[in-house]
Structure 1
């Protein structure tokens, strides 16, 4: 058994976790396309997504951190069938149902959704997120992180934390308190700025979250696809190295990383898969 993440671009990844396949935050527009961020604000995409990995792939569902144009764009909306399950925030759920997406589930913070197949179970728990500073957060879409847990025969095989577009805030401390050891983390970075406000973690905040969560591996995503992103990946990597953080695993677009399964699951030790990456397409 394997667990892998394939990086398509921005916050879009393909997660193959045992018998399950999830797509996160689908944004398929090419470089040069523009997406709407609300309140009259637009941004342009500057990097092409690598969509080859989706060819012929059967997806069980979509994990949508929030309803922003750079996370669910027009190209993705044309691709997603109305009956494909989507797990997202309650606010995004209401909007998507009005757009006739029929299988949307909105999760309040700390609530769960599960899929079961054969002897495996995939559980998604909504984690807290805050997209903007102070009162500005109320003007932005509700956002959630996700704790994704794969179980085999009732035993935990993998715990993956996806931060979503959050800034550092006190509620994030509840993630390690509630769940304990995290095997892997997908961290949304980029230092997105709009009207001078920081809306996603920059390198400094990202290193702070990596220090807090202490996952086995940390995979940076969401850092240079759009013009509003001002903090390059190197900011995060440099700060993480200075703080002595280990397991930082950048991933190339179209590349696939094996995620560390726990000992006794899949016939190998977690440590044997760290850092293994290959390119697709």
Structure 2
């Protein structure tokens, strides 16, 4: 089966598929994030009777994916887990997600969904390497919209083999809030931050970071590299990637990678002491 990372031979790499969907290769592990495979012009539901139309196509189909070890799902909205994913993904795949989403996925036949309360961890080993998944703070919105929005989680991925560790942060659809400071304090040395942007708005309230908030979070966490995703894909996205680019340039934030759908970013594997 093809590897799915666009010909890259690096031990670790990320392929941007579109929206918040990425394919992660971490040594022997293959992980898919927030699977969104509907086509341009199709509609998805984002809750409470609200729908939005896709403006882009995914860079690959589910049939073109390699054999997966797991899916990482930040929350259960139609632009993160759509009807194509529900129909075509292997129901035996572990899906690491919020307890809210895991319960709903169980009812839809995804029996291996794993509920991840905040700061819970899950680890596995394969071919001498270890992967640890940690659920991190995230909040879909502030104020009253935040009360009715579904729970969201960020994710920390630690890929380790003797003498080396790569640390990835997946923001999920969060807005800025005080609990994100816990990530800075408890999870130093982030190598790559995958940032969900787009400035999605419902009833005038942000439910994902716009360009300014995305830059603010990078200044808080200071990852070595950052990959913006979840932008320009849907009609509800009000903050284009260009706004984030302007903020990054104005503040002189280093390490931001501009990766188009279908492109693969190789990730260096730092030499670090491992447990």
Asked if 1:210 corresponds to 2:222, the answer is no
2:10 aligned with 1:15: no
Note the 1:131-280 alignment, pairs <5 A.
131-153=140-162, 155-263=163-271
1:260 positional shift:
2.5
Task: Give the deviation of 1:56 after TM superposition.
Answer: 5.3
Which of 118, 124, 134 is equivalent to 2:127?
Answer: 118
- The equivalent residue for 1:276 is none
TM-score by length of 1: 0.91
**Take 1:264 and 1:211, find their aligned partners in 2: how far apart are those partners?**
23
Q: Secondary structure at the match of 2:46?
A: strand
Secondary structure of the residue aligned to 2:208 is coil
The equivalent of 2:34 in structure 1 is 25
Q: Please, what TM-score do these two structures have when normalized by structure 2?
A: 0.93
CA displacement at 1:180 relative to structure 2? 1.1
Q: CA deviation at 1:263?
A: 2.9
Number of paired residues? 264
2:67 to 58, 64, 71: 58
Structure 1 segments, 4+ long, off by >2 Å, are none
Runs of 5+ unmatched residues, structure 2: 1-9
Q: 2:88 aligns with which of 79, 84, 87?
A: 79
Q: CA deviation at 1:67?
A: 0.3
CA 264–90 in structure 1, closer or farther in 2 if over 3 Å, else same = closer
- Output the CA distance in 2 between the equivalents of 1:168 and 1:67: 20
Deviation track 1:231-267 (CA, whole Å, cap 9, x = no partner) reads 01111111111112100101111000012310379xx
Q: CA RMSD in A?
A: 1.4
Unaligned runs of 5+ in 1: 266-281
Summarize deviations over 1:136-177 as a string: whole Å, max 9, x none.
212111000000000103x44200000000000011111121
Task: Quote how far apart the aligned CAs of 1:118 are.
Answer: 2.3
